[in-house]
Structure 1
C-alpha cells in the first residue's frame, strides 16, 4: 500500500533542505582545508539562503517552491565554486554572476512594479551599480589579502574578467526584464500589473 503523494511544496522543501546541506558540506570542506574563501562564502550563503523565510515573515510575501530552490541553488553554486570550479571550470563565474544578478534583478523588479514604476531603468541601474561595486570590493579584498600575505576570499583574475562579470550581470538583468512579469507575479500586486 502506498501513502499519499508529497505535494510540490513538500518536495521543494526537501530539495531546498538538500541544497542547504550542500552549502553546509562546503563549509565543512572549507574548514577541513583551512580555506577562508570557502568558509566565508558558505557562511554567507547559508545566511542568504534563509532570506526567503525572513522576507515571507516580515513582508507577508509568499515564495513559490521553485523560487526558494532557485535562490538557494545560487548560494550553493557560489559557495561550491570556491572549492575549485571558479579556477577549473571556465564558465562557472559566468553562471554564478548571471544567476546572482537574476536574484538581485528580481527583487528590484518586484519592488519597482509594486510601486507602480517601470522596472527597466531600476533593474539595469541597480544591477550595473551593484556589479561595479562588487568588482571594486573584489579587487580591494584581493589586493589587501596579497599585501597581508593571506589567502583572499574573493579573487580578481584580470580586467577581462571584470568586463565579463559585468556583461553576465547585465545578462541576468535582461532575463528578468524579459520573463519577470510571468515568473514574479506572486510578488506583484494585482493593481500594479502591466495590461
Structure 2
C-alpha cells in the first residue's frame, strides 16, 4: 500500500514540476495539460473526503498513471517514442472500462430487478470503450479543424487515419483486459460504491 501511494505522490510531484516549467518558460500547453492531469489525480481523495468512499491505493495509482503518462506524451514523448501513444491509449481505455463496469455493477447490485450477466458485462465494457474512443477521435478531429482555422496550437491532434485505427485497436486491448481480468477485482469496488452512494440516495 505504501509503495502505491509513494508512486502516486511521485507522479504528482512530476506534474507539479511540469506546470512550474510551463509557467516559467511560458508554455501554455504544459500548464494546461499538467494542471488538468494534477486535478484528476486528486479525484480519489475527493471521493474519500466528500462521500466517505475509500478507494484501493491501486485504483488511485491506476488513475494517476493514466493521466501522468498521457501528460508526458503531450510534453514530447508521443513524438519521440512510437509506442508511447499505444501505451496511453490502452491504459486510458482500461480506466474508462473500469469506471463503466464499476457503475454498471453497482447498479446491478443495488437494484433487485436489474441483473447483468458476466458475458453481457463483457460486451458492455467493450462497446462502452469503443464508443468513448470514437468520441475522443472526433474530439481530436474537431481540435484539428479549430487549429487550422485559428492558428492556435492545440494540446491534442490527429495524425491521420492509420493513427486513428491504431488508437482504436489499443483501446480495444484495454477493454479486453478489463473485461477478461478486471471484473472480479472491480466487483468489490462496485459493492463499496453501492453501499456508500446508491444506498444513501435511496
TM-score (norm 1): 0.85
- Structure 1 residues 93, 33: CA separation in 2 closer, same or farther (over 3 Å shift)? farther
Structure 1: unaligned runs, 5 residues or longer: 1-7
Contact 1:42 1:79 in 2 (8 A): yes
Stretches of 4+ aligned residues off by more than 6 angstroms: none
1:88 aligned residue = 80
2:111 aligned residue = none
Relative to total residues, which structure has the larger helix share, 1 or 2? Answer: 2
1:140 aligned residue = 142
TM-score (norm 2): 0.82
Alignment of 1:1-195 (within 5 A): 8=1, 10-116=2-108, 117-118=116-117, 119-189=121-191
Per-residue CA deviation, residues 45-97 of structure 1 (Å, 9 max, x unaligned), is 11211111223344443211122112111111111111211111100111111
Distance in structure 2 (CA, Å) of the matches to 1:27 and 1:138:
23
Structure 2: unaligned runs, 5 residues or longer: 109-115, 195-202
- Structure 1 residues 138, 34: CA separation in 2 closer, same or farther (over 3 Å shift)? farther
Per-residue CA deviation, residues 112-143 of structure 1 (Å, 9 max, x unaligned), is 22222242232122211111111111111122
Distance in structure 2 (CA, Å) of the matches to 1:36 and 1:176:
34
Contact 1:99 1:172 in 2 (8 A): yes
Contact 2:122 2:180 in 1 (8 A): no
- Aligned residue pairs total 183
Contact 1:36 1:153 in 2 (8 A): no
Q: CA RMSD in A?
A: 2.0
Could you say what secondary structure the match of 1:168 adopts?
A: helix
Distance in structure 1 (CA, Å) of the matches to 2:142 and 2:41:
26
